[in-house]
Chains A and B, each alone.
Chain A
Amino acid sequence: MKNRIKQYRAAKDFTQENLANRAGCSRQTINSMEKGKYTPSLSLAFLIASILEVDINQLFIRGTKEGECYND
C-alpha cells in the first residue's frame, strides 16, 4: 500500500521523530511506512491521519497493481 505520509508530514513541518513521538511508535517505523515497506495497522493509520489532520483516504492509497483500486 502506498501512502503520502512524507508529503503531509513535510507540509506540517514535522520531522520523522516528531511524528513518531506523537504517534507513539519509533522513527524507524515512520521511515519504513514512508518507503512503503511497512503497512501500519488500522489504528496506527487512523492515528497518523488525525495527527497530520488529513483524511485517511487521502493519506493511504489502496492498491499498487494493475486493476486494483486507486484513490488518485
Chain B
Amino acid sequence: MSIGYKRALGTSSIFGVLFIFLIMYFGLVGPVDFLESTFNKMIFVVFMVAAAISFALLIVLTKRNKDTLDERDDLVEKKSLYSGLFITIIYVFVLCISITFSFKSVGVIDVSWMYFVALSTYAFGFFITGILKIFYYRKLN
C-alpha cells in the first residue's frame, strides 16, 4: 500500500465520519435551534478541530514512511482534485437549489442553513476527493 493510498483512505474515513456527523446532528437538532445554542456550536467546533488534527496527524505519520510520492501519485492527485471539484460544485448547487425550493413558499430561510452548507461542503469536498483518489489508485494497480 503506497503512502498516497494510505492518505486517501485516512482522508476519506476522517471526513466521511465528519460529513455523516454533520448531517445527523443538524437533522437531529434542527435548523431553528442550531445556532441558538452555544453547546451545539461547540460540538461542531470540537468535531471540526478533531477532524483537522486527525488529518494533520495522518500527514505527519505517513511522512515517516520511507515510501516516496512520485509522478503516479501526482497524476492521481490531479485527476481526483479535478473530479472532486466538479462533484463538490454539483453538491453545493443541488443543496442550494433544494433549500431554495423548500423555503420558496415561506420566503425566508434560517441562517443556520448557510452554516450547514459551508461546513458540509468543507467535509464533503475532502471526503469525495479521498474516495476518488482510492478509485484512481485502484484503477492504476
Contact = CB atoms under 8 A, between A and B. Distances in A.
Nearest to B5: A28
Contact of A32 (B3, B67, B69, B72): B72
B100 interface: no
A31 interface: yes
B105 interface: no
Interface in A23-41: 24-29, 31-32, 35, 37-38, 40-41
Contacts of B28: none
Given A37-B140, A37-B141, A28 B72 contact: yes
A44 interface: yes
Chain B: interface residue count, which band? 10 to 19
B68 A38 contact: no
Q: Is the interface of A mostly helix, strand, loop or mixed?
A: loop
Nearest to B67: A26
A40 B68 CA distance: 16
B140 A25 contact: no
Contacts, number: 37
Given A26-B2, A26-B67, A31 B72 contact: no
B41 to A, nearest CB: 43
A28 B67 CA distance: 10
Contacts of A35: 141
Nearest to B72: A29
A29 B72 CA distance: 6
A28 B71 contact: no
B87 to A, nearest CB: 24
A32 B141 contact: yes
A26 B141 CA distance: 12
Contacts of B72: 25-26, 28-29, 32, 38
A70 B71 CA distance: 26
Interface of B: 2-3, 5, 67-73, 75, 139-141
Given A25-B70, A26-B67, 14 more contacts: A24-B68, A24-B70, A26-B69, A26-B73, A27-B67, A28-B5, A28-B141, A29-B71, A29-B72, A32-B140, A32-B141, A37-B139, A38-B75, A40-B71
